[in-house]
Amino acid sequence: MSSFEPAYIETSQKGLLKKKIKQAGKMLGACVLCPRRCKVDRLAGETGVCKTGLQAYVSSYNAHFGEEAPLVGRNGSGTIFFTHCNLLCIFCQNYDISHLGHGQEVSDEQLAGIMIHLQNSGCHNINFVTPSHVVPQILSAVQIAVDAGLAVPLVYNSGGYDSIDTLKLLEGVVDIYMPDFKFWDPEVAKNACDAEDYPQIARQALKEMHRQVGDLVTDEAGIAQRGILLRHLVLPQGLAGTRPLMRFIAQEVSTNTYANIMPQYRPCGRAAEIKGLSHHLSQKDFETALEAAIEEGIERLDSRRRRFVLW
């Protein structure tokens, strides 16, 4: 029997979680939660890029079996998909959720109830998907859920466009960080999500996440307990910049980084607006990216079956 205890339990017992909740709540008054720094008063219902005011929106929640192997195990990852997004890639595969806002507003108490439900269903973790714009709501809900018996690892599953100040609020709360690292080239980031600073922000965020939790650690059954699990979606024609991105991870983060080099790009949303993104990923492009990762020193790779639709 594992003796692992999620970080947030001790943080709550020490009274630190309530302090983090208070600090995060203040940030909503002139919102600077993410690098967009919209400075709208979300406490008064104003919204910025993420189109989210005081309360979070959830599009769905379930035991998910399509996530990485260390998260899924036998019983699935307890995913909570938040509506809206602070990054808004124009080719998003969840375009109806991130751009169109499909979902329902939930109170912090309801969000806590979802966590307890997923835990009681046997899920190995609570996996917050696209959480960067709702950190205060998550912190508040976690406190409520702890009091109700929550005791599984928390996964922060973000697009990598995260503020260092906000990430520091999550220290001692999040057990597993699962960021995307989407683009190396600022011009590609600008065209894809109007965030030319994305590569710089993602580098800083990944370093901070690793400082907090280190490399991925699993239990005797291979289930993730703590650490970094990195995602990188390979784009056609090398537009994601896989080689320099993996070189950065190997040289400035850790060669022991657990990474999922993902081949499932498909042209969704407004992908056709960017030259090179109007077609599915080819097997050759994926194999080139995978080879680049290994050659640059990243060899701890997720081993799920990879499927392609060739055009």
- Terminal Cα distance for the chain, rounded: 49
Residue among 181, 213, 216 at smallest CA distance from 199: 181
CB–CB of 198/188 below 8 Å? no
Residues in the chain: 311
CA distance 201 to 160: 8
Q: Is 85 annotated as a binding residue?
A: yes
Q: Is 89 annotated as a binding residue?
A: yes
CA distance 124 to 237: 37
SS (H, E, C) 189-201: HHHHHCCCCHHHH
Strands (DSSP E) contained in the chain are 56-64, 77-82, 104-106, 126-129, 154-157, 176-177, 217-218, 224-233, 258-262
- The residues with which 61 forms a beta bridge, in sequence order, are 80
Q: Is 50 annotated as a binding residue?
A: no
Structure-block tokens of residue 269: 């949303």
Write out the binding residues.
85, 89, 92
Residues contributing to the annotated binding site for [4Fe-4S] cluster: 85, 89, 92
